[in-house]
Amino acid sequence: MKQMIVRNIDDDTAERFKARAKAAGKSAEQALRELIADYAKPAKEEALRLMDRIRAKTAGKETLDPVELIRRDRDTDRGRL
């Protein structure tokens, strides 16, 4: 895992951040990790491109119907106690 150092944070800002994190039942470090993870999420366009690549990889492949699989399992001894 990577580490990041943030310098030159105003004292009042740091104290308010710590207090807010504590009020939420988190450490300041955990609150920062969550903020960074949220900020680093892919943009909508990037996520859509990723979904398009996944769709292209699975195009034309057989899909499984979970309802059919459950029904088939129930009709066999495997689905019975």
Q: What is the mean pLDDT of residues 19-34?
A: 97
**Which comes out higher in pLDDT, residue 9 or 74?**
9
Read off the pLDDT of residues 32-79 as tens digits, 9 standing for 90 and up.
999 999 999 989 999 999 999 999 998 888 888 899 888 888 887 765
Q: Which residues contact 31 (CB under 8 A, 6 or more apart)?
A: 17, 20, 21, 24
pLDDT of residue 81 exceeding 60: no
Is-above-0.75 flag for pTM?
Answer: no
Q: What are the CA-CA distances from residue 20 to residues 32, 33, 53, 57, 65 (Å)?
A: 11, 14, 40, 44, 47
